[in-house]
Amino acid sequence: MKLLTLIIFLLSAVAITSCSTSNPYADLDAFMAEVRAKPGGIIKPIPTLKAYQPFNYSASGLRSPFVRPVQVQEVALLQAGAEVVPDFNRQKEYLEDFSLDSLRMVGSIEMSEIQWALIRDSEGGVYRVKEGNYLGRNHGQIVELTENYVTLIEIVSNGGEGWVERPRTISLQESAGG
C-alpha cells in the first residue's frame, strides 16, 4: 500500500514538473515581442485651451416671447421717469409673497364701475385685484386689466446697481371642464 502511494506521488511530481517546463503563455509572449518590434507612433501635442469669454446677456429687459405685449403707450408712460427704483417704503400687499408664475387669473368682475381680476395663489386662495395693485416678488404693479388678462410692470435688477422695468402678463386660465 505504501508502495502504491509512493508511485502515485512520484508520477504526480513528474507530471507537474513536465507541465511547468513548457510555457503556457508562449503565444502571448510572441505577440508582445512582435508589438514591441514595431516602431512607436507619434503622440499629438495637447491642444491649447481657448480663454473663457463671458457671455453678456443683454435681453433681460426685453419682453418674453411667450407673454402678451403691453400697450406701447403705457410702457412709455412708465419709463418716462429718469431712474427706475422700486419703492421699498410702501406697505407690501399679500400677493407679493408669491412668485408671478404661481399666480393664476381665474376670472374678472366689475363692481361700481371698477374692473377687478380674480387671482388664485399657489395655496388655492382667490383674491381680487385692480389697476394699481401689486403682484409677485419683483414689485409688479398692475397697469392694465381686462376680462382676459392682467398686465403688470415688474421692477427687476439689471444685474448691476440699477433697475429696469419688465412687462409681464397673466392670462385667464380656462377651466378644463369647459
What's the whole-number average pLDDT of the chain? 81
For residue 33, being part of any structural domain is answered with: no
Over the stretch 20-60, which tens digit does the pLDDT of each residue have? 556 778 888 899 999 888 887 788 888 888 888 887 777 76
For residue 92, being part of any structural domain is answered with: yes
For residue 118, being part of any structural domain is answered with: yes
What order do you get walking across the sheet with 163-171 strand by strand?
134-135, 140-145, 149-157, 163-171
Count of domains for the chain: 1
* CATH number of the domain residue 83 falls in: 2.30.30.830
**Domain span holding position 115:** 72-171
What is the pTM assigned to this prediction? 0.52
For residue 133, being part of any structural domain is answered with: yes
Mean pLDDT over 128-144 rounds to 92
For residue 16, being part of any structural domain is answered with: no
For residue 10, being part of any structural domain is answered with: no
For residue 57, being part of any structural domain is answered with: no
For residue 96, being part of any structural domain is answered with: yes
